[in-house]
Chain A
Amino acid sequence: MSADPILRVQALRKYFPVRNVWKRRIGWLKALDDVSFDVRRGEILGIVGESGCGKSTLGKTLMGIHLATSGSVVFEGHEIAGLTPQQSRKHREHLQYCYQDPGASLDPRWTIRGALHEPLIVHTQLGEAEREARVREILAAVGLPATHLDLYPHEISGGQQRRVGLARILTLKPSVVIFDEPTSGLDVSVQATILNLLLSLRQEFGLTYLFISHDLAVVRLICQRVAVMYLGRIVEIGETEAIFNAPSHPYTQSLLAAIPRIGGARVTDTFALEGEPPSPTNLPSGCRFRTRCARAAALCAEAEPGLEPFGDVRVACHFPGVVAQSLRA
């Protein structure tokens, strides 16, 4: 792995205007609020968090589906924040995005062949024959027969649609793929198949993954590093095992404590986190987790903690590491 990060995000912000009936802006929904992290070449970085934390917005903003309000995103040495996908097309060729259901990204009126050729038509100057060759190569890599090329999406199964969606992304031989909830809603046995496919594709094509998911068990299994998000910020980031074994941020601790552990003590007996996250349009002053934090002190209301190194990880907390009551070994 080279030392230079393949993707560097700094102070990324994405605010959505909140309007009243008269279309006047009355506030901001701070979906992403000063997010910074690096993605190293070849790694799988997990982004976890619950609904409203901004992880989906992060993926879409990196891709340019949403335009960043401010901040910098440097991909393979080029600045791409603030550019639409069409403007930055040249730079983004190697950065691809995979939906939760990749099959849904297929136009129902296009054949599989058309869907797989399209990325190459948009991004490259390859001729018809060369495109066809590459399409067949990728189709084989995801384990589908070439006969599928003439079919329409509704003529193949959901699982196969998923593979086609993946193949579509891979036709451009990207270097980084952003996955948005790739295993959400899948049966456990199917999930395993998809994960194995993702791992083998990464191996075969030398890919780097940004793995956005709310499923912590899956993230623990395949991500080397993980970033935990809460209300638009990263609150903890580091090596997966370090974080799962000894989480330092109170939110991470609650999050991990909420996962049922088959064979162990029951979460329902010990879980302590109360309430729900505050509205992202009306964030508390200082640390945004303080309204639900058992350790909140005066300092927490005054100053928002930055992401600071703490042991092996980086944490955004004024009192990181103190073991909370609800933590189980």
Chain B
Amino acid sequence: MTDELIAVRGLRVSFGSDAGIARVLDGVDLSIRAGEIRGLVGESGCGKTTLARAILGILPRGAARIDAGTIRFQGADLLAMPEAQLADQVRGRSITYIPQDPSTAFNPVFTIGTQIFDLMRFKSPLAGERGRARQEADRARIEKFLRLVQLPNPDAVLRKYPHEVSGGQRQRLMIAMALLTEPRLVIADEPTTALDVTVQAQILKLLKGLARDQGVAVLFTTHDLGAAYEICDRITVMYAGQEVEEAPVDGFFDRPSHPYTRKLLDSLPSAGTAILGIPGEIPRLIDPPSGCRFHPRCERTTEACRGERPHAALVDATHIVRCHHPLHEVERAG
């Protein structure tokens, strides 16, 4: 684990609401290597967006509370970092963000160019310098990246307003903006969920290619397993605030070890087979099931599952599962 870029350990997050306290993340461990494209997969309520936001430090201030855990990034704990430092050095610079819905990410009353230049004013890699040289270097960099994301006419695009470009183009712009500042990690929160399938194919291709070329790591959250299959090197699956399995992409789809993962893959529509769902419902996080939160819906449940959350165990050198009764033999790990 020595070339870990970012390591989340034991993260617990809770949200307050009228109805009670929702335990949204229950001691989550996640680590990403430099240059790796990591998929974070799960259904609604699994906590993937909360985890992404926690890393960036943009959880809603009043409602959300970080109860425990650390996020180590480049030697520092992001959770302990003062906000000013986080906002200036980390957010938008070494860790950038591509939101799910590109249409609400831009300010509608300013042109795209204004907004991108604004970003560069504060977060340009050349932040030390000033003056004409810096402005021109920034502009050249912006144009280079707009071309990289295959926006044909950078000048024209910069002069447009957000509503004048399409959803696919806006997402390309978001990708360009996320890469402009030479980040180490890009957090892409369901970036293709709102897009048509052909546009999704283009964007995934783009994202994968650029991530490889620029050597950035990507945390790619999605509920679409097909999209995860396309571009991820490694996949972590979450259920109701707990991460349950983590494996390289091929191993993940070929030999899932956790019952939930298996059921999830089985419920993907495929021709010629019966339509399988998962009996029961995703639990409410205000009073979640004890121990392993999947136990009420799992046919392998025993007393141990209700009692205690399983620790991580190795299925093989690169495949981790957290289950008391995994589908494959495991060696115990710490």
A→B interface (CB under 8 Å): 50-51, 157, 159, 187-193, 195-196, 199, 214, 216-218, 220-222, 241, 244, 254-255, 257-263, 266-269, 271, 273-274, 276
Contacts and interface: CB of A to CB of B under 8 A. Distances in A.
Contacts of A260: 201, 224, 226-227, 229-230
Contact of B277 (A51, A189, A216): A189
Contact of A188 (B43, B205, B281): B43
27 contacts: A50-B196, A50-B198, A188-B223, A188-B264, A189-B278, A192-B278, A195-B275, A214-B196, A214-B197, A218-B269, A220-B271, A221-B269, A222-B275, A254-B198, A255-B198, A258-B200, A258-B201, A259-B197, A260-B224, A262-B226, A262-B253, A267-B204, A268-B205, A271-B202, A274-B202, A276-B169, A276-B199
B278 A221 contact: no
A159 B231 CA distance: 31
A189 B267 contact: yes
B137 interface: no
B43 A221 contact: no
B168 interface: yes
10 closest Cβ pairs, A-B complex: A260-B226, A192-B277, A50-B196, A187-B43, A189-B278, A258-B201, A268-B205, A217-B269, A271-B201, A221-B269
Interface residues of B, number: 40
B40 to A, nearest CB: 15
Contacts of A195: 269, 275
A188 B201 contact: no
Q: Binding site of B, secondary structure by majority: helix, strand, loop or mixed?
A: helix
B198 A187 contact: no
Given A190-B277, A214-B196, A263 B201 contact: no
B81 interface: no
Contacts of A218: 269
B29 to A, nearest CB: 24
Contacts of A261: 226
Contacts of A276: 166, 168-169, 199
Contacts of B282: 187
Q: Main secondary structure on chain A at its contact with chain B?
A: helix
B268 interface: yes
A51 B198 CA distance: 11
Nearest to B274: A196
B263 A189 contact: yes
Given A187-B44, A187-B282, A196 B269 contact: no
A157 to B, nearest CB: 7
Contacts of A191: 267, 269, 277
Contacts of A190: 43, 277
Interface string B159-182: 000000011110000000000000
Contact of B268 (A188, A241, A255): A188
A196 B196 contact: no
A262 B225 contact: yes
B262 to A, nearest CB: 12
Contacts of B278: 189, 192
B275 A196 contact: yes
Given A50-B198, A189-B277, A276-B166, A221 B271 contact: yes
A273 B199 CA distance: 9
B270 interface: yes
A326 to B, nearest CB: 10
Nearest to B225: A262
B255 interface: no
Contacts of B196: 50-51, 214
Contacts of A244: 271
A103 to B, nearest CB: 15
Nearest to A258: B201
Given A187-B43, A276-B199, 20 more contacts: A187-B223, A188-B43, A189-B264, A189-B267, A190-B43, A191-B267, A192-B278, A196-B275, A217-B268, A217-B270, A218-B269, A255-B197, A259-B197, A260-B224, A262-B268, A266-B229, A268-B205, A268-B208, A271-B201, A271-B205
Contacts of A196: 275, 277
Contacts of B281: 157, 159
Interface in B254-294: 254, 263-265, 267-271, 275-278, 281-282
Contacts of B199: 50, 276
Nearest to A193: B277
Nearest to B231: A268
A159 to B, nearest CB: 7
Contact of B230 (A187, A192, A255, A267): A267
Interface string B224-248: 1111011100000000000000000
A23 to B, nearest CB: 20
A192 B279 CA distance: 10
Given A196-B277, A268-B204, A189 B43 contact: yes
Contacts of A214: 196-197
B233 to A, nearest CB: 12
